[in-house]
Structure 1
């Protein structure tokens, strides 16, 4: 796996996903982070995930790789050099308890192997991304399907916001949010990522 810097994630960036979990639709980007130990690249094998902390949910996302530091006037093509697909795994029961207490989400979002990603591919440009759906198959059946044309905050808005509040440098990545259709994972589930009709990655979940 290539060296990754900071891992930024965007919560509730698809209106229908916010609604399916009973959350308010945000008026500004909701940003949280994950530790680098959370990263795990799909390689066709098994990935071990927690199986004793309540329901584990997949949240499939488009991931952008940052090519350079942000400065006013820079274009999206200058900021993003590669994309991948991935899952922001969430311990949903843990997250629900943390939300009730007003605590940060790190225990629910930052565990080892919670940031799945496929190998990176060259950024095809915004127009191509808007024309191409990404899909998660669970055991060969469609579990989620999304397209960034449905996001609340577009890629450049996210880049500008994160740069202003946290900073962005070459090697950072952004999980850009998940569409509706999130759901639980069971031990032995095979999860496959498609970009259009191209298979970008696959792994078997092992809950321990």
Structure 2
């Protein structure tokens, strides 16, 4: 994870997820960031998370790794050199408080360990992503299921938007948003990501 630079995240990129949390469906990509220090490999290890700041919610997402800098007119698929599944972990009660006050989400989204990422896989292209489903299991039970075809803002639009607004270079990653089904983690939960039915990262949760 040491070679990752900027961590961009997309909020509310699946309609049903936005609605399940009572949020408006956005008209353009909602971008926020996590510190690179929030990243941790999802390789079966125990991940320690704060257990004293309210519920920690899981959100499984497709993660894209940028291998080539974005410039205007670039074939956006050529910017991505790998993909993975990851978890955008959220201190939900902290986030709700911050939103009410109109404050940034960093305290809710950027805490240590809040961005577990599974092993990198070959990127099949923006259209190829739609051929496979991704899922999250908690203690062996499916809790989330998604497909890139359901994104409000598809991969090409995300890359163009982030690249033109903020810049995208080699080593940056994009968490592309989560489908419906998010929920609170419990101490001892085993979380497993699946891509096209195959293992794509796992971890054991310890709430401290």
CA offset at residue 159 of structure 1? 0.6
Q: 1:8 is matched with which residue?
A: 8
CA offset at residue 76 of structure 1? 3.0
User: Could you list the per-position Cα deviations for residues 30-58 of structure 1 after superposition, in whole angstroms to 9, with x for gaps in the alignment?
Assistant: 00000011001111120101111000100
Matches within 5 A, 1:166-185: 166-185=166-185
Matches within 5 A, 1:25-104: 25-104=25-104
Q: 1:140 is matched with which residue?
A: 140
CA offset at residue 73 of structure 1? 2.3
> Helix, strand or coil for the counterpart of 2:37?
helix
- Structure 1: where are the runs of 5+ without partners? none
Distance 1:53 1:191 in 2: 21
CA offset at residue 201 of structure 1? 1.0
- Of 73-82 and 96-105, the range deviating more from structure 2: 73-82
Distance 2:34 2:24 in 1: 23
CA offset at residue 106 of structure 1? 0.4
Runs of 4+ in structure 1 displaced over 6 angstroms?
none
Distance 1:134 1:14 in 2: 14
- Using the size of structure 2 for normalisation, the TM-score is 0.98
- Using the size of structure 1 for normalisation, the TM-score is 0.98
1:110 matches 2:110: yes
Q: 2:150 is matched with which residue?
A: 150
Distance 2:111 2:172 in 1: 19
> Helix, strand or coil for the counterpart of 1:44?
strand
- Structure 2: where are the runs of 5+ without partners? none
Across the aligned residues of Structure 1 and Structure 2, the Cα RMSD in angstroms comes to: 0.9
Number of residue pairs matched by the alignment: 208
CA offset at residue 124 of structure 1? 1.6
> Helix, strand or coil for the counterpart of 2:135?
strand
Distance 1:144 1:162 in 2: 26
Distance 2:122 2:172 in 1: 15
1:20 matches 2:17: no
CA offset at residue 2 of structure 1? 5.3
Distance 1:2 1:48 in 2: 19
- Of 183-192 and 43-52, the range deviating more from structure 2: 43-52
Distance 1:72 1:53 in 2: 42
